[in-house]
Amino acid sequence: MTIRLLAFSLLLLASLLLTQAEAATCSCAGAPLLSSIDSSSTEPGDFFFNYTTEFHEMSDLVEGTKDIRDESRRERSSTSQVVSGTYGLADRWSVSGLLSYIEHSRSVGTSFLGEQNTSGLGDAVVLLRYTPSYITPFSRHEVSLGIGVRLPVGKDDAGGLIVQSEDMQPSVGSQGEILWSSYSYAFNQASTLQLNLSANYTFNNEENDRNYSFSDEFNFAVGISQSIGTRFGYSAGLRYRTTDADERNGFEIPNSGGEWLDFVPAIQYGISDDLTLSLSGRVPVARDLEGALQFTTSYSYAFSMTYAL
């Protein structure tokens, strides 16, 4: 059980490095979908339940690689509630499913008009995963491959009679397909220290009801994770993300797309053999954004709870 928990914990930490499939637009506003899916290896019949809440502040104004002072005092943030479950289907095979609830908020400090808010059910993700190689006392490598789909089951017309923009919607409003992979290397036989790599690609080829389509997205992450004792653990890594410009009616949307590099630290505490808590963050390290000006991530933090049934 302890080994299982250790393995589970480390891979859970590693999963926090996993790229987040952003729920919506242009450089900002996203729900931490993929990262909420437990990536730990599962045995047939195992079931893991995860709840994650994340706060995402997106008030940095950026011109290319340069931060710009924003005298308009714009505030933009999102809060996500994500629940997911992972079930071991068979040896080396597992399936994960996720549902989200998203709240968006924006305001401009110099405006005579007040804050605007939207909320609602966000997108769902279903991911089928194959793990041909596990980390064991006899093997230090773990490889996992996945294929999934993002389902626009949520709300994409929030705002009343005047529908708000795509980045303020809980749901992307269109289906997406996901390819996912991860690799871990254990530095010691006890696998208390690991190197973790992950990559995923999301295909966004469909338009929503307002003829808007988000760009495809690629994410890559690298980091280390370490368990300390039987309860504590930490991870730290870098995540790279890139998107092209979004489109409407096939025309590129200016000031969308770019590249981001974030630092993603996390700590974890195992309350019991079956329950772990973790706290993670995301801090921008570098970015190079398309167009003249974009608002983008200032920081985010998330609290997560995982329970093994």
Partner 1 sequence: MKNRTLCFLYAQLALAAFSYSGATQAQSAHLEGTTLVLPVVTAADKTFRLEFSLDTNTSPLQISLISAVELSNPDSIDTNNANSFIGTTLSIPDISVDGASFRADFTLLSENPIIFLLADAAENGIQAPENTPNACSRPAPDLSHGPNNAAVVSGFSVDPSKIQDGGPAPDGIPPLTNPQFTQNLELTGIFPDSLVVGVKVGDDIRAYPHQILDWHEVVNDTFTVDGQQQQMTLSYCPLTGSAMMWKGFAQSANKTFGTSGLLLNSNLVMYDRETNSLWSQMLEQSIRGSAVLDIPDKVQVVETTWETWQAMYPETILMTEDTGFSRPYGTYPYGSFRTDQSLIFNVDNMNDLRLHRKARVLGINVGDSSKVYPVADFGDSISLIHDQVGGMDVVAAGSATQNFAVLFNRQLEDCTTLDFTPVQDQLPVVMTDNEGTQWDVFGNGISGPRAGTKLEKTNSYIAYWFAWTAFFPGTEIN
Residues lying near partner 1 in the complex (CB under 8 A) are found at: 63, 68-72, 74, 76, 106-108, 110-113, 116, 159, 161-168, 210-211, 248-249, 251-255, 291-293
Q: How far is the CB of 292 from partner 1 (least distance, A)?
A: 4
- Nearer of residues 64 and 265 to partner 1, judged by Cβ: 64
Which lies closer to partner 1 via its Cβ, residue 63 or residue 273? 63
On whether the CB atoms of residues 34 and 125 are closer than 8 A, the answer is: yes
Least Å from the CB of residue 240 to partner 1: 24
Q: Using the minimum distance from each CB to partner 1, give the nearer residue, 81 or 117.
A: 117
How far apart, in whole angstroms, are the C-alpha atoms of residue 262 and residue 264?
6
> Shortest CA distance to 130 belongs to which of 95, 93, 181?
93
Give least dist CB 132 to partner 1, A: 44
- The nearer residue to partner 1, 163 or 179, going by C-beta atoms, is 163
CB of 154 to partner 1, least distance (A): 18
CA distance 205 to 192: 41
Determine if residue 291 is left, alpha or beta; phi over 0 gives left, psi from -120 to 50 gives alpha, anything else beta.
left
In the chain, the amino acid numbered 265 is P
Residue 1 vs 292, nearer CB to partner 1 = 292
Q: How far is the CB of 287 from partner 1 (least distance, A)?
A: 16
Please work out, in degrees rounded to the nearest 5, the angle formed at the alpha carbon of residue 141 by the alpha carbons of 137 and 143. 130
Q: Which amino acid is at 165?
A: S
Comparison of 142 and 156: residue with beta carbon closer to partner 1: 156
As measured in angstroms, the least distance from the Cβ of 251 to partner 1 is 4
Q: Considering the complex, state which of residue 1 and residue 161 has its C-beta at the smaller distance from partner 1.
A: 161
**C-beta of 27: minimal distance to partner 1 in Å?**
11
End-to-end CA distance of the chain: 13
Q: DSSP string spanning 46-90?
A: -EEEEEEEEEEE--EEEETTEEE--TT-EEEEEEEEEEEEEEEEE
> Nearer to partner 1 by C-beta: 106 or 282?
106
Report the nearest approach of partner 1 to the CB of residue 284 (Å).
Answer: 19
Q: What backbone phi and psi angles, to 5 degrees, belong to 82?
A: -125, 130
